[in-house]
Structure 1
Amino acid sequence: MTLDAIQPWLNFVHPVTMWLLLAITLYALYLGIQARRTRLADAETRKELIKGKFALKHHKVGSVLLALMVIGTVGGMGATYLEAGKLFVGPHLLAGLGMTILIAISAALVPFMQKGSETARLTHITLNVVLVGLFSWQAFTGMKIVQRLLTDLQASAGS
């Protein structure tokens, strides 16, 4: 099987991966909220919440998310370049690159949060809220691109 045979289908790896990453991002958000609740809770409530190990899970999921986000971003750009011979500099690409920067900065704040910096925590939260908003928007703009790819695929199959 040659690259030409599988190339049209490579275009769909990025959107499927990104939708999965959006779900993982929402799970990481949930874990982060629970970790913060645990940290700020009274002694009795904290005792119960600690059993969920939310901070540890948030840290692990966040690490996986960072790696997959970078891979997904580069993979999406690579698939576009292989298909079109160029990148399309537009809102979807720029927002995706911005999201990759946001998640990298967010992860870079972890050592400061581990030392107790509330400023780092609030910055981490703010960056990730913006990230979730951009990610949600990206999911829908990405679907427009997928629809165009499907139309092109149908047209090339019909000819």
Structure 2
Amino acid sequence: MSLEIPVSIKPWLNFIHPALMWVLLGVSVYALYLGVKLRKTRYAEGEAKKELIKGRYNVRHYQVGSVLLGLMVIGTLIGMGATYINNEKLFFGPHLLAGLGMTGMIAVSASLSPYMQKGHDWARYTHIVLNSALLALFAWQAFSGVEILQRIISKM
């Protein structure tokens, strides 16, 4: 299959995925912050709890997580699509495998939301473990992606 994309645009497709992923790495750290605040709210008492509730950390964490899920799946597809369009193949390696694994992890993590809303601690702990691993992989992905980007730039 041949996708006819103007030659002047093709090389720039390689920059959409990394730019989006770096933004999403920052959004992931913000989601972590909201999750920590949410957990603090859950275990707080009295006036401290009333003050924390005003921050609406539960709603914000859920909303940011939902956006993160959607954009991460789209970003994964953009990265794979741009690679395929420019090279007519995908490069099977650690960056691709970790990225696909991360996409699966965030989907499973998000799927635990109904169980967490019903108060199941096993779902909360699984969510925390998955997202901690996801954030660690995300950080590694960011730097391995920069190496890939440097190789692409050197060939331009």
TM-score range, shorter chain: over 0.9
1:82 maps onto 2:85 in alignment:
yes
**Could you give the per-residue CA deviations for residues 70-111 of structure 1, whole angstroms, max 9, x where no partner exists?**
000011000000011100010000000000000000000000
Paired with 1:37 and 1:136, the residues of 2 have a C-alpha distance of: 25
Question: How far apart are 1:53 and its partner, in Å?
Answer: 0.5
- CA RMSD in angstroms, aligned pairs only: 0.7
Paired with 1:124 and 1:81, the residues of 2 have a C-alpha distance of: 32
Paired with 1:17 and 1:152, the residues of 2 have a C-alpha distance of: 22
Task: State the one-letter code of the partner of 1:83.
Answer: N
Instruction: Note the residue ranges of structure 1 that are not aligned, 5 or more in a row.
Output: 154-159
1:41 aligns to what? 44
Instruction: Note the residue ranges of structure 2 that are not aligned, 5 or more in a row.
Output: none
Match of 1:28 among 28, 31, 43: 31
Paired with 2:30 and 2:97, the residues of 1 have a C-alpha distance of: 25
Paired with 1:119 and 1:113, the residues of 2 have a C-alpha distance of: 8
SS of the residue corresponding to residue 89 of structure 2 reads coil
1:19 maps onto 2:22 in alignment:
yes
Task: State the one-letter code of the partner of 1:82.
Answer: I
Match of 2:76 among 73, 84, 99: 73
Question: How far apart are 1:130 and its partner, in Å?
Answer: 0.2
TM-score, normalised by the number of residues in structure 1: 0.94
1:146 maps onto 2:146 in alignment:
no
Higher helix share: 1
TM-score, normalised by the number of residues in structure 2: 0.96
Q: Percent identity?
A: 59
- Structure 1's consecutive aligned runs of 4 or more residues displaced over 4 angstroms after TM superposition are none
Matches within 5 A, 1:104-123: 104-123=107-126
Paired with 1:135 and 1:18, the residues of 2 have a C-alpha distance of: 9
